[in-house]
Amino acid sequence: MEKYIGAIKNRDEAAMNELLHDDFKFKMHKSGNTIGKAEVIKWAMSGDINQNKDRVVYENDEIGVHHSMVTFNDGNVEAVMAVYKYKDGKIISLETGATPMPK
């Protein structure tokens, strides 16, 4: 999980490709949208996801839980709780719940 957090912060496309399973799905509970690997990498490379106060809450070989404060380019700030599931040593799924924070 630390590698994934670093890949987003450093906009490291190669690392994201390596860390995300080809069947990766990202479910965003706030919007109800689900996007795949290519869309997540494109979004991360855009610089729109600016995480800070990252905290790995829990992680083992099957699952990881991560909390962070995320500021988006439009100025919106959200407290984001993320749950990662792993398969074959890669992230196969990610689900997030987000709480809007005052700007």
Report domain extents, the chain.
2-101
Contact 51, 5 (CB under 8 A): yes
pTM over 0.85: yes
* Residue range 29-70, pLDDT digits in tens: 878 899 999 999 999 999 999 999 999 999 999 999 999 999
Q: pLDDT value at position 30?
A: 77
Give CA–CA dist 31/27, Å, rounded. Answer: 9
3-state SS string for 37-69: HHHHHHHHHCCCCEEEEEEEEEECCCEEEEEEE
User: What CATH number labels 2-101?
Assistant: 3.10.450.50
Vertex 28 angle, CA 11 and 18, to 5°: 35
* Residue range 1-38, pLDDT digits in tens: 999 999 999 999 999 999 999 999 999 887 889 999 99
